[in-house]
Amino acid sequence: MNTNEDKMEYIEEFDHNLIEGHEYDGIKELDNPPPFWLLSLFYLSVIFAVAYGAYYFWLGMGDLQVAEYEKAVAEAQMNMKNKQGKSGFDENNIVLFTDEADINAGAQLFATKTCTTCHGMHGEGNAIGPNLSDEYWIHGNTPNELFQVVKNGVPSKGMTPFKGQLSEKQMVQVLSYVLLKIQKSNPENAKAPQGEKLGFYSPDAETVETTTDSTGTE
C-alpha cells in the first residue's frame, strides 16, 4: 500500500458539474464552459490578424520595412540640412581651435573614440596606425587634408571614417589636439616614420603643400 494515497475530496459545488465517465487515474474533469473573456480574447486576436494583413498588404496602408526605413533616413537628412546651414564649417578652410577647452575636448575624444587603439595612447602609433607625433605624413599635414582623413577614413589602410561618429566640430577638436599637442611631443615607444617628411605642423608657417598622393608608404 502506497503511503501517499489520498482520497479525492470534493467540495460540494463541484460535484454536480463532474462529467460522468471522465476519470483517469483518479483525475476527474468538470464540465465548465471555457471562460467567455478568454474566447473573446481569441476572437479579437483573429480580428487583429485579419486587420494586420489588410493594413500592411491588401490595402497597402502601412509602410513595409524598407519604406519605413527610407522615410526615417529622408527625415533625418532634412533635419541635418536645416542644421548644416548654421554650423559654419567650411571643409576647404579648416581653422584649428587654440583655446584650452576645445583642445581638452579633443584630447577626451582622442582617448574615448577609439583613436588610441590604432595610434597609441599618446599618438605614438602602433602595429596598426602611424605615429602622429613625428614629421612624417602619409596623407598630408594640413588641417584641410587631415580633416578629410578623419571624416572619410582611408579604407585601403584601415583608417575608419568618423563622419557618422563625430560631428564636424568634434573632428576639428581632435585635429586641434593632434596638431597642437601631439605633434613634437616625442612620446615613448614612438613608431618608426611612415610616409614623407613634410615637417611638423606649425600654425605660423605655411606648411609645405604637397601634391603627392599616398604612395609613399611601406
Partner 1 sequence: MEQEKFYYDNKIVKLFALATILWGIVGMLVGLTIASQLAWPIMNFDWQYTTFGRLRPLHTNAIIFAFVGNAIFTGVYYSMQRLLKTRMYSDLLSKIHFWGWQLIIVLAAVSFVYGITVSKEYAELEWPIDIMIAIVWVVFGINMIGTMIKRREQHIYVAIWFYVASFVAVAILHIGNSIAIPVSLLKSYPVYAGVQDALVQWWYGHNAVAFFLTTPFLGLMYYFMPKAANRPVYSYRLSILHFWALIFIYMWAGPHHLLYQALPEWAQALGTTFSIMLIAPSWGGMINGLLTLRGAWDKVRESAILKFMVVAVTSYGMATFEGPMLSLKNINALSHFTDWTIAHVHIGGMGWNGFLTFGMLYWLIPRIYNTKLHSEKSANAHFWIATLGMLLYSVPLYWAAFTQTLMWKEFTADGLLAYPNFLETVTQILPMYMTRVIGGTLYFTGAVMMAINLKKTMSKGHIIENEEAHAPALEKLQSARMAGETGHRWLERKPVQFTIWTLIAVFIGGAVEIIPVIAVKSNIPTIESVKPYSPLELEGRDIYVREGCYTCHSQMVRPFRSETERYGEYSKEGEFVYDHPFQWGSKRTGPDLARAGVKGGKMYKNAAWHYNHFMNPQSMSPGSIMPKYKWFAKQTLDISHLKRKIEVMRMLGVPYPEGYENQAKDDLIKQANEISAELKASGIDLAADKEMIAVIAYLHKLGRDISESEVTQNTNK
Which one of 107, 118, 180, 190 is in contact with partner 1 (CB under 8 A)?
118
Which one of 80, 184, 185, 189 is in contact with partner 1 (CB under 8 A)?
80
Give 59 or 80: the residue with its C-beta nearer to partner 1.
Answer: 80
For partner 1 (CB under 8 A), the number of binding residues is 69
Phi-psi region of 158 (alpha: psi -120 to 50; beta: other; left: phi over 0): left
Closest CA to 163 of 93, 84, 95, 108: 84
What cell was used for 95?
Answer: 581653422
Contacts 24+ apart (CB under 8 A), 108-115: 109/166, 109/170, 109/173, 109/174, 109/177, 110/174, 110/177, 110/178, 113/162, 113/165, 113/166, 113/174, 114/160, 115/174
DSSP state of 180: I
Restricted to residues 121-160, the positions that interact with partner 1 (CB under 8 A) are: 127-128, 152-153, 155-158, 160
Q: Is 92 in the site for partner 1 (CB under 8 A)?
A: no
Shortest separation between residue 207's beta carbon and partner 1, angstroms:
27
- Contact footprint for partner 1 (CB under 8 A): 2-4, 6, 8-11, 13-14, 18-19, 21-22, 24-35, 38-39, 41-42, 45-46, 48-49, 52-53, 56-57, 64-66, 68-69, 72-73, 76, 79-80, 83, 112-114, 117-118, 127-128, 152-153, 155-158, 160-161, 164-167, 218
